[in-house]
A and B are shown apart, each in its own frame.
Chain A
C-alpha cells in the first residue's frame, strides 16, 4: 500500500479533524497579535527606532542644558551615527513589510526571511562591536574633562590609564562572545533551520 492507494483516505482524514470556525471567531483571530519571529523582530526594530529618537533628543537637551559645548563635536557625531542607524533599521522595517504582503513561493519566502535575519543579526553584531570602543574613548575623555574641571593641573596616572585600557579590552572580549551567543540564542537556531530547508530545496 503506498501514497497513491491511500490518497483519498488521507485527504479526507486530514480535513475531517477540522473544527470549522464561525465568521465571528475568524474576525476575532485576525485582530490578534502575531507571534512569529519576524513580527518579534519588527517590534524590536520599532523599539530601536524609538530608542534612537530618544538618544538624539537626550543629547540635544544635554548640550543645551549643560552648556558643555566642548562635547558638541562628539555629540553631533553620535547624532549623525544614530540617524544613519535609524534610517537603516527603518528601511529594514520597510523591506520586511514589503516581504510580508507578497505571497511568494516557499523557496523565495525562505530566501527573504534568511536575508532579513542575516541583515539584522549582522547589523546588531557590528553595531555592538563599534559602540564598545566609542563608549570607552568617550568615557575616558569625559573622565579627563571632569578631573580637569576640578583641578586644571590634574591628569590621569599612567597606571590608571593602563588599568582602564586593560579593563576595556577584557570587557570587549567578553562582550564579543556574549553578543555572538545572544544573537545565536535569539535567531541562530531559527536561521539554521531555514538555511537547511532552503538547501533541501536547492539540492533538487
Chain B
C-alpha cells in the first residue's frame, strides 16, 4: 500500500498516459485493475502477441489448432487480467497464462511428428532469406518429441529467462530447472541424431 499523496512509481510509469515507449515484450501495465480497460488490454496483447504465437507454434502443428489455442490463451488472459497485480512484467505474466493454457489444453489425439507440416512451416516462414539446414531441421523435430513440460522449459530458455524465473513460472526450484535443462539438452542432442 502506498502512503496517501504518493503514487506507486511503477503504476505512474506504466500508465498509458505517462508511460515512456518501451521495447516489445517489456510493456508494463497499470497496477490498479480498475484502470485496465479492454482497450488497454488489447493494446498490451497487440504489443506482446508474439509470445502467444510462439507458444502456439511450439505446441501445435496444424493451423486450425494453433488458431484455437491462440483464442484460448487470449480468453484466459482476458479473464485473468483483473487479477494481474503488475508486480511482474506483462510479458512474463502472459507467458505464464499461455504456457498454462497450452499445457492443460485437452487434445484427444497426440501430436504426431508431421514432417510435411514442419517443412511447410519452415518454407512458409523463410521463403527468401532462410533455407532450413539439416541440423536445424533435426533439432526442431527433436523438440517436437519433447513432453509438454519440457517444451515449456525450452520455450523459456530460448527467451533467456534465468533459472529462477523459469522456476517461478513452472513451479519448481532453480536447481530443478538446471537439472531438467541439462537432461533436455542431452535428450535433444541424442534425438536429433535420428534425423540427420
Contacts and interface: CB of A to CB of B under 8 A. Distances in A.
Interface stretch (B1-9, B10-18, B93-101): B93-101
Interface string A26-40: 110110101111000
Given A9-B136, A20-B49, A108 B171 contact: yes
Interface in B73-92: 74-76, 78-80, 82-84
Interface in A161-203: 189-190, 193-194, 197, 200-201
Contacts, number: 155
B89 to A, nearest CB: 12
Contacts of A16: 125-126
Contact of A103 (B50, B72, B100): B100
B49 A18 contact: yes
A71 B54 CA distance: 62
Interface in B109-161: 121-122, 124-126, 130, 135-136, 139-140, 143, 147-149, 152, 154, 157-159
A201 B171 contact: yes
Nearest to B85: A103
Contact of A14 (B58, B71, B170): B58
A113 interface: yes
A32 B79 contact: no
Contact of B57 (A14, A22, A193): A14
B93 A103 contact: yes
B184 A3 contact: yes
B136 A21 contact: no
B187 to A, nearest CB: 10
Contacts of A6: 135-136, 139
Contact of A29 (B71, B122, B149, B171): B71
A29 to B, nearest CB: 5
The 6 closest A-B pairs by CB, nearest first: A107-B171, A105-B171, A18-B53, A16-B125, A1-B135, A101-B83
Interface of A: 1-4, 6-7, 9-11, 13-23, 26-27, 29-30, 32, 34-37, 100-110, 113, 189-190, 193-194, 197, 200-201, 204
7 contacts: A103-B97, A105-B168, A108-B171, A197-B149, A200-B147, A201-B149, A204-B180
